[in-house]
Chain A
């Protein structure tokens, strides 16, 4: 009798020991899930120096509130894939710092807490936020926001003002000037190149492409939400870029090549966001460098990104409260400025009171740029994007972005020497598939 119980006990222990760890592995028994005082925060700030600051802020938050924050850095190009894996595993983080396209995609799928975001925005006063970032994060029917705008950057061509002056060339603010300067400075035998823009299958290619396309009034969607990618204006943009790609470094390139070459005096122009500002200060290149944030062809276009803090919908009120508290904490003046100063000039405030405050301007990089810095920040108000037309929002653009359709077609055109029309058709067909899903 005794022996039988012993055996039963042994079997039970064995079964338990086998199923419990696997349950945790498959996500059933994770203690994080029900712990109200523990939240997870995903950030695209992966540089270790920035992570230090963010972890410091998270620690301060824990000391103040007793709520633990797990900071998870996620590389920008991996964000979409990690996100869908987290969704599938029911392990979405409570707070995410991400670009507006991703916010719209998740918001549209009903995963974000609109009410919580609204509460945080209202607690700091809706009027204090710049209008542009608020519009970009708003719900498709205009009723509320999917996330709380947090910071933003502006993209443009950073160019060697000293070289341009010496050569008697005009600033690269329109298509003709850009091409002329690219030809002039392209000396591959001396390892000096004309320009760097995105020709890889990645987000950077879409970002640099957008500015060219918008300056030629070429769009992905029209106001009715119809796909109008295959337009004469878009074809003209592709043709122009195919020509321009003759004056870049060999092979496809991305932002990393642009930054390395520019800081190494090996390229005359490159597309980059305002994040380059602190590097330029560090390399004593501020005086030699010009910034053309606006591009003109048939119209003027500015491109940039607004990043927001989203709060994930959850059944747990306690978790929601904790997430809200954390987002509010990050927007609190002192913490907010500490956060923005991680990448001075790169991350621009989305609230007027912060942009104008003495504490924000009290920074080496921002003071070097002086009024230019405030001007750049206000540029956030006129950012043009494919997913937003005439105040309307087209979340399908988020899916197109996640699959790097545009970057893929540019890459095929410049690296496999496809005709512009072929590359355009290729992208259009892929977009049609996505839109019809």
Chain B
């Protein structure tokens, strides 16, 4: 048979297709079982990453028929020597630190609040999830309108009703306020996720711990500090890590809300698609990846202690 003569030349395939021993048979089964996963990971994760790394070493030409030109590390040198990149990095750090802290703390507070028994608790829990489940584009437009300088409700309340401000402010588009608006927006949007994870863990803390503490005469504050928070430690730490990864690369929420918040992902997008420097765009994302992965490894080692 033709197939056999071909497999003769490849001992690996030979053992795969003509197993002799039981362990070889098992090995064969093993390969077949992990094959779909390997193929999937290669196709949708490994290939794009390698392709991106390759792009970051080339000057990509616009015409689809012309190939890229290999330029070595030139793109990386351009990126790290551009003060705008470091400016964007600073903005990203402020954005990430504040939104991670804000969203996690708010989620924790709301979870502790809604963990008590009261009428309408189920409804309240459902309502809290709304910001997280509404399509992003619709709430962005609602926020833009809410904070519009002339027609917006926020300025109406602040200027005309409460007289806290003398003149209306363009909250979303003014460079002074845009970053804080984006942070405020992201905290509001992301806290339900933290809430959801924390409340799930809260409900699994055994009641007996609290009963024992009560017998010892502990008040609410002591119970929170000595039982609840230590129990939540890993949930909160993992949440903060996930949120950090997501928000460090955050693009859609920021870019849709305001054109004035230049975080690194927006900077990379503009480099790649308005300035047509696809190679530099790729170099920026590779740099971002490096920074992020070193942070994650450090965090996992020091904070999560895995």
Please, which residues of chain B bring their CB within 8 A of the CB of A8?
3, 17
Bound form: Cα–Cα A201–B258 in Å: 11
CB-contact partner of B62 in A109, A250, A261, under 8 A = A109
- Chain A interfacial residues counted at CB < 8 A: 42
Q: Is the CB of B62 within 8 A of A251?
A: no
Q: Which residue of B lies closest to A27 (CB)?
A: B64
Q: Is the CB of B274 within 8 A of A261?
A: no
**In A240-277, which residues have CB < 8 Å from any B CB?**
249-252, 257, 260-261, 266
Bound form: Cα–Cα A10–B64 in Å: 36
Given A87-B62, A252-B174, A261–B36 Cβ distance below 8 Å? no
Give B78 Cβ to nearest chain A Cβ, in Å. Answer: 11
Please, which residues of chain A bring their CB within 8 A of the CB of B176?
415
**In B32-73, which residues have CB < 8 Å from any A CB?**
32, 35-36, 39-40, 43-44, 60, 62-64
Give A374 Cβ to nearest chain B Cβ, in Å. Answer: 36
Q: Is the CB of A250 within 8 A of B167?
A: yes
Q: Is the CB of A250 within 8 A of B63?
A: no
CB-contact partner of A250 in B35, B60, B170, B269, under 8 A = B170
Q: Is the CB of B62 within 8 A of A84?
A: yes
Bound form: Cα–Cα A4–B2 in Å: 13
- Asked if B173 is at the interface (CB within 8 A of a chain A CB), the reply is yes
Bound form: Cα–Cα A85–B272 in Å: 9
Bound form: Cα–Cα A90–B44 in Å: 20
Q: Is the CB of B175 within 8 A of A415?
A: yes
Please, which residues of chain B bring their CB within 8 A of the CB of A14?
35-36, 39
Given A14-B35, A80-B273, A88–B60 Cβ distance below 8 Å? yes
- Asked if B109 is at the interface (CB within 8 A of a chain A CB), the reply is no
Interface string of B157-180 (1 = CB under 8 A from A): 000000000011111011110000
Q: State the majority secondary structure of interface residues on B.
A: loop
- Asked if B151 is at the interface (CB within 8 A of a chain A CB), the reply is yes
Bound form: Cα–Cα A403–B275 in Å: 6
Interface string of A1-45 (1 = CB under 8 A from B): 000100110110011001100100000000000000000000000
Contact-residue bracket for chain B? 35 or more
Q: Which residue of B lies closest to A26 (CB)?
A: B47
Q: Is the CB of B168 within 8 A of A85?
A: no
- Asked if B220 is at the interface (CB within 8 A of a chain A CB), the reply is no
Please, which residues of chain A bring their CB within 8 A of the CB of B150?
191, 249, 257, 260-261, 266
Q: Is the CB of B64 within 8 A of A251?
A: no
Given A18-B39, A90-B64, A84–B273 Cβ distance below 8 Å? yes
- Asked if B149 is at the interface (CB within 8 A of a chain A CB), the reply is yes
- Asked if A131 is at the interface (CB within 8 A of a chain B CB), the reply is no
Q: Which residue of B lies closest to A1 (CB)?
A: B1
**In A255-312, which residues have CB < 8 Å from any B CB?**
257, 260-261, 266
Q: Is the CB of A201 within 8 A of B60?
A: no
Q: Is the CB of B63 within 8 A of A251?
A: no
Q: Is the CB of A188 within 8 A of B167?
A: yes
Q: Which residue of A lies closest to B18 (CB)?
A: A4
- Asked if B233 is at the interface (CB within 8 A of a chain A CB), the reply is no
Bound form: Cα–Cα A87–B224 in Å: 57
Q: Nearest 10 A-B pairs (CB), nearest first?
A: A251-B170, A81-B273, A90-B64, A251-B174, A250-B149, A252-B173, A18-B39, A251-B173, A250-B170, A403-B274
A contact set with B: CB distance below 8 Å? 4, 7-8, 10-11, 14-15, 18-19, 22, 80-81, 84-85, 87-90, 92, 109-111, 188, 191, 200-202, 249-252, 257, 260-261, 266, 399, 402-404, 411, 415-416
What are 14 sample pairs from A and B whose C-beta atoms fall under 8 A apart?
A14-B39, A18-B39, A19-B43, A81-B273, A84-B276, A84-B278, A87-B62, A89-B64, A188-B167, A200-B259, A250-B168, A251-B149, A251-B169, A415-B176
